[in-house]
């Protein structure tokens, strides 16, 4: 900002100096020229009158005497001016029979007198003048020629020309221009220095405020600005400090409230485990003897057991979330093959896939896909993604892809079910959020699975991303760095990779029998050409347990 303001001031200052210098230079030039022209015309008029008087009062009557008079008058007029000048006395009619010759003090400059000037001088009674450039050996200097008519005895009408040099005025103008240039440079330097100093007085407190704001953003809530004086900057500093104190107070209150909330969730989760264990024992006894009960009580025992399972899962997820919120989550990383973790997650999701009548296609690489990660957490992420995909697949296929590159490994879970709108995708990782609130969780989820999965991915320094379109399904991609410290820049799998089958009758593959006869022809499976480098293993839901 300081440099920008100074540059702007210098630019405007330079423009102003150039305009002012041009105006002053022109005014001085015109003033010097007009003053010199007035002086020259007055002087030449007086000299012309002097010469005419001398010609009128002469006693010379012969050609020789008149020629001598003309020569003497030319020399006399050359030295009679205020400064050096050249004199030209020429006969008006070159065809005249007079034997009195033309006379001049600088015959080599006679070419400066133009025919136009001679015609004007010969035809008028007043003085005529013209600006000329006088050669001086190294260049030219400005000058002016003044012409008038005189009558020479015996010889007749003659033209008298005075050639004045304006070299002195030119030197004066050049000197004034140099003075203006030096003054302009000094003015620009002074303007730059003063602008720099003034803007620094404003910018420095702003820079300090920016530094303090960054420190506040980093969590150093005790940072304050120095407020001195009563000017606007001091008022701004005091207002900033009051704002910082208010923010510190609010943040501390929120932090204390958040701590209390996290402790409350953790304590409640722990405290609920004891009565839950007791209730679980009683529920198991009732569930084991449910066949001896009437149908209504039997169904109640089954519901009680299922909801207790879900309640235990919810308590476990709440405890896990509280660990993430408290920053107490620990990563137990080791070098593992991601394909094994994905296979285990598929095995876990097999019962749900069977119940939902969903096909799962696993595209695994031939080579090991190794990286340093926590098996428990990554398997939990993949399991959550699979359960959600099967839940919303609407009996369509679910595809699982595993790939790697030099810096990262990735697994993608893709379904072709109901999908989600763009605004829904933005909330898919929120806690207890569902795309369709009216839709029941038939798989018994807690609503915290994706939120925990995102925290697990971030704990590894990885990404967990989602893509979806209504009617086209959804895709979730987990990308992990191969080693700790690697900053991810890309993923080895396209987020929305894969496609729904268009020419395959899924129902035709499903039979009541399980075994090799129930497997579809691999060449007819979707997405084969898009992952040619990773041969696909495609398994029907009823055969997922044998896919390895």
Query: H or E segment at 174?
Result: helix 167-217
Largest interatomic CA distance in the chain = 170
* Confidence at 410, pLDDT banded by 50, 70, 90: very high
Whether the per-residue pLDDT at 144 is higher than 90: the answer is yes
Whether the per-residue pLDDT at 533 is higher than 50: the answer is no
Q: Tally the residues of the chain.
A: 548
For the segment 54-101, what is each residue's pLDDT rounded down to a tens digit? 888 888 778 888 888 888 888 888 887 766 788 999 888 776 666 678
pLDDT > 70 fraction of the chain, expressed in percent and rounded? 82
Lowest mean pLDDT among 35-44, 362-371, 445-454: 445-454
C-alpha–C-alpha distance, residues 490 and 504, integer Å: 33
Residue (of 320, 381, 352, 517) closest to 441 by Cα position? 352
167-217 vs 2-57: helix axis angle to the nearest 10?
A: 170
Q: Which residue has the higher pLDDT, 214 or 144?
A: 144
Is 480 in contact with 457 (CB distance < 8 Å)?
yes
For residue 128, how many other CB atoms are within 10 A of its CB?
20
| Helix, strand, or coil (residue 417) | coil
| pLDDT for position 95 | 67
* Confidence at 382, pLDDT banded by 50, 70, 90: very high
Q: Which residue has the higher pLDDT, 342 or 512?
A: 342
For residue 132, how many other CB atoms are within 10 A of its CB?
22
| pLDDT for position 132 | 92
Average pLDDT over residues 305-328: 71
Average pLDDT over residues 115-136: 88
Residue (of 344, 280, 278) closest to 310 by Cα position? 280
Which burial class, exposed, middle or buried, applies to 26 when counting CB atoms under 10 A from its CB (0-12, 13-18, 19+)?
exposed
Average pLDDT of the chain is: 79
Is 154 in contact with 82 (CB distance < 8 Å)?
no
| DSSP characters over 36-102 | HHHHHHHHHHHHHHHHHHHHHH----SHHHHHHHHHHHHHHHHTSSSS-EEEEEEES-TT----PPP
Whether the per-residue pLDDT at 481 is higher than 90: the answer is yes
For the segment 350-381, what is each residue's pLDDT rounded down to a tens digit? 888 888 888 888 888 888 899 999 998 899 89
| pLDDT for position 446 | 65
Q: Give me the residues paired with residue 475 across strands.
A: 414, 467
| Helix, strand, or coil (residue 264) | helix
Is 315 in contact with 276 (CB distance < 8 Å)?
yes
Average pLDDT over residues 304-315: 73
Average pLDDT over residues 146-150: 92
| pLDDT for position 328 | 66
pTM: 0.46
Q: Tokens 């007749």 appear where? A: 156
Average pLDDT over residues 521-529: 37
pLDDT > 90 fraction of the chain, expressed in percent and rounded? 15
Average pLDDT over residues 418-433: 81
C-alpha–C-alpha distance, residues 353 and 543, integer Å: 10
How do strand 156-165 and strand 128-135 relate by DSSP bridges?
unpaired
How do strand 360-363 and strand 398-404 relate by DSSP bridges?
parallel
* Confidence at 532, pLDDT banded by 50, 70, 90: very low
Whether the per-residue pLDDT at 522 is higher than 70: the answer is no
For the segment 246-293, what is each residue's pLDDT rounded down to a tens digit? 888 887 887 777 777 667 766 766 677 677 777 778 878 887 888 878
Average pLDDT over residues 107-111: 89
Q: CB neighbours of 496 closer than 8 A, spacing ≥ 6?
A: 414, 467, 475
Is 57 in contact with 72 (CB distance < 8 Å)?
no
C-alpha–C-alpha distance, residues 142 and 132, integer Å: 6
For the segment 298-309, what is each residue's pLDDT rounded down to a tens digit? 888 878 877 777
Whether the per-residue pLDDT at 529 is higher than 70: the answer is no
Q: What is the DSSP letter of 263?
A: H
| pLDDT for position 500 | 46
Most confidently predicted of 206-220, 351-365, 426-440, 486-500: 351-365
């Amino acid at each position: 900002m300081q440099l920008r303001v100074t540059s702007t001031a210098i630019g405007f200052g330079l423009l102003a100096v150039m305009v002012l210098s041009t105006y002053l230079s022109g005014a001085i030039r015109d003033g010097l020229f007009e003053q010199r022209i007035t002086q020259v015309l007055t002087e030449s008029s007086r000299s012309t009158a002097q010469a005419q008087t001398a010609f009128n009062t002469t006693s010379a009557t012969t050609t020789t005497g008149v020629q001598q008079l003309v020569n003497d008058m030319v020399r006399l007029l050359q030295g009679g001016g205020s400064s050096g000048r050249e004199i030209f006395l020429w006969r008006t009619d070159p065809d005249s029979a007079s034997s009195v010759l033309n006379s001049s003090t600088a015959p080599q400059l006679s070419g400066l007198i133009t025919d136009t000037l001679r015609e004007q001088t010969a035809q008028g009674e007043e003085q005529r003048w013209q600006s000329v450039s006088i050669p001086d050996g190294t260049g030219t200097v400005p000058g002016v020629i003044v012409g008038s008519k005189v009558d020479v005895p015996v010889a007749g009408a003659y033209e008298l020309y005075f050639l004045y040099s304006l070299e002195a005025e030119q030197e004066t103008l050049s000197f004034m221009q140099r003075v203006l240039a030096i003054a302009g440079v000094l003015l620009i330097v002074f303007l730059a220095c003063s602008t720099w100093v003034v803007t620094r007085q404003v910018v420095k407190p702003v820079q300090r405020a920016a530094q303090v704001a960054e420190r506040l953003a980093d969590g150093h809530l005790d940072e304050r600005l120095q407020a001195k004086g009563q000017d606007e900057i001091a008022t701004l500093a005091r207002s900033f400090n009051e704002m910082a104190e208010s923010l510190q107070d609010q943040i501390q209150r929120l932090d204390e409230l958040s701590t209390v909330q996290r402790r409350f969730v953790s304590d409640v989760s722990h405290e609920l485990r004891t009565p839950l264990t007791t209730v679980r024992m009683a529920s198991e006894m009732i569930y084991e003897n449910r066949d001896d009960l009437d149908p209504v009580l039997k169904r109640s025992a089954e519901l009680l057991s299922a909801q207790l399972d879900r309640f235990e899962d919810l308590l476990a997820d709440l405890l896990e979330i509280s660990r993430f919120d408290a920053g107490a989550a620990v990563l137990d990383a080791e070098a593992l093959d991601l394909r094994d973790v994905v296979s285990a997650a598929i095995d876990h999701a097999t019962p749900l896939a069977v119940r939902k009548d969903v096909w799962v296609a696993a595209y695994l690489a031939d080579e090991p896909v190794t990286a340093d990660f926590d098996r428990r957490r990554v398997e939990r992420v993949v399991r959550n993604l699979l359960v959600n995909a099967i839940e919303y697949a609407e009996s369509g296929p679910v595809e699982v892809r595993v790939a790697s590159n030099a810096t990262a490994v990735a697994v993608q879970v893709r379904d072709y079910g109901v999908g989600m709108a763009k605004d829904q995708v933005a909330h898919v990782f929120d806690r207890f959020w569902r795309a369709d609130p009216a839709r029941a969780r038939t798989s018994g989820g807690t609503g915290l699975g994706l939120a925990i999965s995102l925290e697990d991915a971030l704990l590894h320094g990885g990404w967990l991303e989602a893509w979806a379109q209504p009617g086209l399904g959804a895709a979730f991609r987990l990308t992990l760095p191969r080693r700790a410290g690697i900053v991810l820049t890309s993923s080895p799998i396209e987020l929305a990779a894969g496609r729904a089958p268009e020419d395959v009758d899924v129902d035709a593959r499903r039979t009541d029998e399980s075994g090799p006869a129930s497997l579809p022809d691999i060449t007819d499976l979707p997405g084969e050409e898009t992952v040619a480098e990773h041969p696909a293993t495609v398994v029907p839901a009823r055969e997922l347990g044998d896919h390895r």
